Structure 1
Amino acid sequence: MFNDLILNLTDFVAGLSPWLQAFGVALISLIPFVESYLGTFIGVLVGMNPWLALVAAVIGNTICTFALIAAASRTRRAVIARRQDPEAAAPSKRRQRIAGYLERFGVPGVSLLGPLALPSQFTAPTMVALGASARSVYFWMGISIVAWGVLFGFFGNWAAGVLV
């Protein structure tokens, strides 16, 4: 199923005219589990300049993730303002897991290592909801999005060279 999604996204980007491919990569990078890393990889595989693919994927992933961080921050402030005990609600399993990682690795660790387990669109707002500083989450998620995009850009460039 995931392979079909990646193939369909690759076909989508490849089917666009070259001047629209960057927009296509930015668009698919909004999708959780695709993000900057697979967006860059797909862009490179369809023949885009690796740097253009990286920039487009980072822009798409950053827009989505940062919008979710902003929404989570506003929601947390509103909930805390209305509730006496901000920790009263029973957390979900995913939230408990991220809370454990947040306590263990901090915002930098969860941001940089989080994509190994969950998309940044899930981990970033969850960290803010758990009380992490939105400013810190923006900063470290920005670094993570770029780092993962660069890593997979190099991997995509290597794979394209091997496949051709």
Structure 2
Amino acid sequence: MNPLEQLVSSFQDLVGQVPEFIQPVIVMLAGAIPFIEGEVASLIGVVGGLNPIVTGIAAAAGNYICVLLVVFLTSRTRTAVVNHRTAHTVADGEARGVPESAADAAHQEGTPAKPESKGHKRFKKWLVRFGVPGASLLGPLAIPTQFMSAMLVAGGTPRAWVLLWQAVAIVLWTTIATVSAWLALHLVVPV
């Protein structure tokens, strides 16, 4: 038995000590962690000896539930900030006796421009070039889906559009990772 086969066998023995109904829950929890997400969580489950279909579904579900929470929290935060700015600007204009549109202009001019970070510039470039579908599908190659969805919603993209395309991306990448892990495990390391 080569070292890789021994490592896989030892890991499967370790996973076998966990009750069967808890194993997919562990994969789902792993899928909710940024940088691990559905892709790595499905690899863990497949190498651990779980059914690849159950593993893929659990990993994708964990990742999507986390994205769903991030999108709703970011959306509520964005709404609160926008409402606060609007109320603050209107109140400032009324206090000075300035019409609302002039108060908006004064608020915009009075706020010093903060320089954009390199990452934010790169994100905007991707978003302009590929749109929300492209950013969602290609985003996992660069940053976690949780971060991508938060940036999209914070930038003003509708929640439903972000959730739809993040779901497509999560299912696609988790399926690719699950099938690849299963094929590698059966073709490279015959277990």
TM-score by length of 1: 0.85
- Which residue of the other structure, out of 141, 144, 149, is the alignment partner of 1:116? 141
1:44 alignment partner in structure 2: 46
4+ long deviations beyond 3 Å: 88-93
Is the CA contact (8 Å cut-off) linking 1:54 and 1:149 kept in structure 2? yes
Is the CA contact (8 Å cut-off) linking 1:95 and 1:126 kept in structure 2? no
Q: CA deviation at 1:95?
A: 2.8
Is the CA contact (8 Å cut-off) linking 1:65 and 1:120 kept in structure 2? yes
Alignment partner of 1:163: what SS?
Answer: coil
C-alpha separation between the residues in 1 aligned to 2:158 and 2:73?
13
| Structure 2: runs of 5+ lacking an equivalent | 1-7, 90-107
TM-score by length of 2: 0.74
Q: CA deviation at 1:96?
A: 2.8
- Which residue of the other structure, out of 166, 170, 174, is the alignment partner of 1:149? 174
RMSD of aligned Cα (Å): 2.2
Q: CA deviation at 1:91?
A: 4.4
- Which residue of the other structure, out of 104, 121, 129, is the alignment partner of 1:96? 121
1:62 alignment partner in structure 2: 64
Q: CA deviation at 1:80?
A: 1.1
Identity of aligned residues (%): 38
| Structure 1: runs of 5+ lacking an equivalent | 1-6
C-alpha separation between the residues in 1 aligned to 2:19 and 2:114?
49
Q: CA deviation at 1:89?
A: 5.5
Alignment partner of 1:47: what SS?
Answer: coil
